[in-house]
Amino acid sequence: MLHKRIREVRTLLKMSQKDFGDKLGVSRDVIANIEYNRAKPQKIFIQHLCSTFNVNQDWLETGEGSVFINDKRSKNLSEAIRIFESLNPDLQDYALKQIKALLELQEKKSPPSP
């Protein structure tokens, strides 16, 4: 029932097959073939799906546990990546400079780790 759980993830994320596939680097046809159980997803695809959308791999493979990994850090990172990817290249450069500046500021305020 892996194919049904992959469809469930996409539905919960409110994404079309095309958008879901685009985020995973595959075509809409690949997603459709997996969801209709015409093709079995490779292990690397499953791992990529889980890391991209913070999906609990145990749930995806077995149906046990929660669908998503409830880790605030992972959610924040995913949101930051999603936003960053939607920026044009000039704004990505600017955002990266700002993040580096924040890191420098944090390092100045925090004592070094032993």
Q: What is the pLDDT of residues 34-88, one digit of tens each?
A: 999 999 999 999 999 999 998 999 999 999 988 988 766 666 777 888 899 899 9
Burial letters for 52-80: b for 16+ Cβ neighbours within 10 Å, e otherwise?
ebebbeebbeeeeeebbbeeeeeeeebee
Per-residue pLDDT tens over the stretch 22-31? 999 999 999 9
Q: Is the pLDDT of residue 8 over 60?
A: yes
Q: Is the pTM of this model over 0.85?
A: no
The pLDDT, as a whole number, for residue 69 is: 84
pLDDT mean over 85-96: 94
